[in-house]
Structures are given as C-alpha cells and as structure tokens.
Amino acid sequence: MRVASPEIAALEVSRAPFLRLQGIRKDFGSFTALKDIHLDIAKGEFVCFLGPSGCGKTTLLRVIAGLEVQTAGRIELAGRDITALPPAGRDYGIVFQSYALFPNLTVAQNVAYGLVNRKVPRARAAARVAELLALVGLPGSEGKFPAQLSGGQQQRIALARALATAPGLLLLDEPLSALDAIVRVKLRQEIRALQRQLGVTTVMVTHDQEEAFAVADRIVVMNQGSIEQVGDAMQVYREPRSLFVADFVGRINVLPAHTVEGGGLRVGRHVFACEHAHAPGRDVRVYLRPEDVLARPLPPGDPNVFDAQIEKIEFMGPYCLVRVSGDALGEHRLTVYLSLNYLAEAQLAVGSRLPLRLVPERMRVFE
C-alpha cells in the first residue's frame, strides 16, 4: 500500500471542506423546503445563499445552525459530524436580520454574552469586548444601550457579539436588509474587510444580488429548495446554467428564436450568428444581457448588426435603459444600456434610429 508523504497528507487536509452538507432535506409536513442539498465550503470562504423569498436559503442556514432539524442528511464542520448536535454544541456565531440585541443590556454586556456563558474571566472578557468594539469601529461604546445606537451601529454590535467567542463559522441571516441603502453599502464593505482580516468561514443569506456580487467568493443560487448553480459572481452572471438563473440574476433580454443551418438563430426576419447555437430546426430562447447589445463598435458586414429605433428611454443616473425595436427583431423588443454621454454625443431621443450589434459569444441559448 502506498503511503502519502507528510507534505501530500497536509495538502489533502487543507483541501478538505471546512463545512460539508450531504443530502440535506427538510420537510415541514407535506411541504419539502430543502431537496437533497450537497455543498462543500472551504475554510476562510465567504459564501452567499442567493434566491427569491421562499427558496429555502434561510431554512438551510438554520439547519446549519441547528435551529432547524433536517429530515435527512449529514453536516460536517471542520471534519466533525455535527448533524445531531444542538446549537450550543456547534462552533459558530450568528447575526440575524433583526439584530436580536438584548435591550436591557449594555453594549459591553451584549458583546460579552457568549463569553459569560463560557465562564471566561471578567478581565479577559472585558479585553475581548474592547478589542471587538475597536474592530467594528465602535470603540468606547461599552456603556451605551442598543436604543441609543443607529441601525448600522446595532448591526455592528451584533457582529461583534457573534465573533466574541472566535467561532470557526460565521452565519449571517440577511444582516443588512433593514438598513438604508448608503449604510448597507458601507457596512457590507466593512463586513467583507473584517472577514478577510479574520479569515473566518462565512455563510450569508441574501436576496440582494448586488450584495452577493460585492462580497461573496462563491454564490449559491437557490430555487424551490434546490441549488440551481454554484460559482463566483462572474460565472453566475455570465454563464447561467439554467433558465431560472438566467432569469433571476441580473437584467436579461429574452428572444424566441429558431435554429438554422450553420449555427445561426432566426429572430423575426433576421438570422444572427451565435457561438452557443444548438442543432438546426429547434425552437429556442436566446438570453442576452443589455450590456451585450452594443451601439459601437460595429464591424462592417457583421450579421449581428441591425437597424433599431428607440421606443423608450429610462433615466438611471450614469446610464439609461433604452428600449428598442427593429424590423430584424419582428415583434420583439430589446433593452440596451447606453451612457448619458453617448446619448448626448449621438443626439439620440425617442424615435431616433441607430445601428446595434448583438455580441455572439454572449448569447446564451436554452431550448
């Protein structure tokens, strides 16, 4: 029998998942909330569970935390089977959407709550509290009460409390959804920077795609209790593996088409070239992001260039959502991103005509 060298053995251990979910199912009576979930998360990873309301993402987080008992499946954390352990026996800290701070306790008492339960000496606990408050940007706030803090400050305290016992796993249940937009963006940046600094393995539930794109190493897209796709932000956005992911993640154009000889796609009266076309003679749907309909450059003789007319311009700040039609599209419409500068430079308005190009390598085709 071949024996692995210590170096190879150490490498294999380092590649082992820190959190492993195997065949997780959760039933609520006759309703199945989670269906055969398999997922490995590496040590130090920041993973987001992303999906619409009711897709099972929060239920999966609660199963990991032991706050819900799975109907079937196995959970391992750092190589240890925690499937049947109560929440107190699992090595994690958790931050809820509602902060869940104790209103009658001071900031210091809230942060030290887990340390007190573990009978950490008072001096050590006080030092740890001071360290964490400095870490989350609220030094000197030990004597305040939650009601004296803003929503963003309360969430920072909840985060400090979750990290107080130095857990191996940090669970975040939509921690930013109750905050206003500016605070939400600032705090998500702080959470990501803190996670990188501490190297703590983190799982966050969110329905906010921009939030997931901004912080996650990998995104787990969920739908109706199942995992649709796992990948980094670019993979999920650019290479959707299912109709659901294509529809759910980002803004998308959908064009009914018919495949023809040579890999082309007939949309309305026009045949467009596509690198991902299927066999000829099939009815398909073409998915295309608005940024992949280009106003320039336009190569001469390109089969994907067509003449369009602007039907509507929706101002979005630095850019506009522009809805266009064209003979090449038949009865169908496309939404295009055009910058304010380009619209002004080309003197475009509703009713204006302009040539556009569909990027062939960005056209995703689903039967």
| Domain-located, residue 11 | no
Q: Are residues 205 and 323 in the same domain?
A: no
**pLDDT tens-place string over residues 87-100:** 999 999 999 988 88
Region 105-113 average pLDDT: 95
Instruction: State which residues form the domain around 352.
Output: 254-366
**pLDDT tens-place string over residues 339-365:** 999 999 999 999 999 999 999 999 999
| Domain-located, residue 39 | yes
Region 266-271 average pLDDT: 88
CA–CA separation, 180 vs 114, rounded Å? Answer: 29
| pTM for the structure as a whole | 0.89
Q: Which two tokens stand for residue 210?
A: 């921009």
Q: Are residues 156 and 238 in the same domain?
A: yes
Q: Are residues 151 and 283 in the same domain?
A: no
Q: Are residues 341 and 217 in the same domain?
A: no
**pLDDT tens-place string over residues 137-151:** 999 999 999 999 999
CA–CA separation, 171 vs 94, rounded Å? Answer: 5
Mean pLDDT score across all residues of the chain: 91
| Domain-located, residue 8 | no
Helix (H) or strand (E) holding 259: strand 253-259
Q: Is the pLDDT of residue 182 over 70?
A: yes
**pLDDT tens-place string over residues 189-201:** 999 999 999 999 9
> What is the pLDDT, as a whole number, of residue 1?
41
Helix (H) or strand (E) holding 122: helix 122-135
Q: Are residues 91 and 206 in the same domain?
A: yes
CB 85 within 8 A of CB 66: yes
Looking at the chain, the whole-number percentage of residues with pLDDT higher than 90 is 81
Which DSSP category does 7 fall into?
A: H
Domain count, the chain: 2
> What is the pLDDT, as a whole number, of residue 3?
47
Domain boundary among 193, 221, 247: 247
Q: Is the pLDDT of residue 130 over 90?
A: yes
Q: Report the range of poorest mean pLDDT among 58-62, 215-219, 269-273.
A: 269-273
Assign 9 a pLDDT band (cuts: 50, 70, 90). Answer: very low
Region 258-282 average pLDDT: 85
Three-class SS of residue 51? coil
| Domain-located, residue 360 | yes
> What is the pLDDT, as a whole number, of residue 144?
95
Q: Is the pLDDT of residue 324 over 50?
A: yes
- Measured in residues, the chain has a length of 367
Q: Which two tokens stand for residue 6?
A: 């210590």
Assign 5 a pLDDT band (cuts: 50, 70, 90). Answer: low
Q: Are residues 213 and 361 in the same domain?
A: no
The amino acid at residue 98 is: S
Angle between helices 151-163 and 122-135 (to 10 degrees): 130
Report the CATH number that the domain containing residue 98 is assigned in CATH: 3.40.50.300
| Domain-located, residue 3 | no
Q: Are residues 238 and 263 in the same domain?
A: no
Domain boundary among 221, 247, 273: 247
Nearest to 304 by CA among 364, 267, 263, 359: 359
Q: Are residues 65 and 160 in the same domain?
A: yes
| Domain-located, residue 274 | yes
Pairing mode, if any, of strands 293-294 and 305-315? Answer: unpaired
Report the CATH number that the domain containing residue 277 is assigned in CATH: 2.40.50.100
Region 275-292 average pLDDT: 87
Q: Are residues 232 and 259 in the same domain?
A: no
Q: Are residues 116 and 187 in the same domain?
A: yes
Q: Are residues 109 and 129 in the same domain?
A: yes
Region 288-313 average pLDDT: 92
Q: Are residues 203 and 319 in the same domain?
A: no
